[in-house]
Amino acid sequence: MGGAYRIEDVVLSPRDELVIEYSGYNPFLICTFARNMLRDVLKISGSSLREDDRRWDFSDPNSRWFYGVWRGVKEEDNWTKSWFRIAAEGKFNVKDNTGSVKIQLRAHMFTTFEYGNPMTASLWKFFNYIFYNRQRRKYLEFHRDLVHLMKEQILKAYKIYQE
């Protein structure tokens, strides 16, 4: 009679996501570097990267609609892993390559303790409460910084500067 004690944390809590909206030249730019940015910022291998979705709409000869979702999975230790998600939806004019895009950055952290009986379940809860919770908080702070670093890199790529 085994099971698992699972904890899910939203890294950007109390918000679910960071949103960047851009209008101007080359809104499609995010689709060209999102995967590599995830790999470089998270310091993960290509096998931990996913392109979950990519769509185009060519029905209008003057404009293009696009949508893409990329995800990176970062394993911290035996119990905790995190996933970081970038989603982009936009539209641009074919003639002058101007348009707009909305980019969403999300991150979730998952901690799982497997157990075989109710006694070990109690021990895992005790271990998390007394010892491991501090480590989880450090991971959360570090991951929040990584999401903000991704945001800065996107703003820099689109030449949007913040004070």
Range of the domain at 108: 3-157
Judge contact between 79 and 113, C-beta under 8 A: yes
User: Is there a domain that residue 73 lies in?
Assistant: yes
Residue 111 lies in a domain: yes
When divided into structural domains, the chain yields a total of 1
Tens of pLDDT along the chain (163 residues)? 678 999 999 999 999 999 999 999 999 999 999 999 999 999 999 999 999 999 988 888 899 999 999 999 999 999 999 999 999 999 999 999 999 999 999 999 999 999 998 899 899 999 999 999 999 999 999 999 999 999 999 999 999 876 5
Beta bridge partners, 88, equal: 68, 103
Mean pLDDT over all residues of the chain? 93
Tokens 């310091």 correspond to 43
With CA atoms as reference, report the closest residue to 103 among 41, 138, 40, 152.
152
The verdict on residue 162 lying in a domain is no
pTM of the model: 0.90
**Token pair of 15, please?**
């918000």
Is there a domain that residue 102 lies in?
yes
Q: What is the pLDDT of residues 13-38, one digit of tens each?
A: 999 999 999 999 999 999 999 999 99
Q: Determine the pLDDT at residue 1.
A: 61
pLDDT at residue 87, rounded to an integer: 97
Q: DSSP class of residue 70?
A: E
Q: Establish if 163 belongs to a structural domain.
A: no
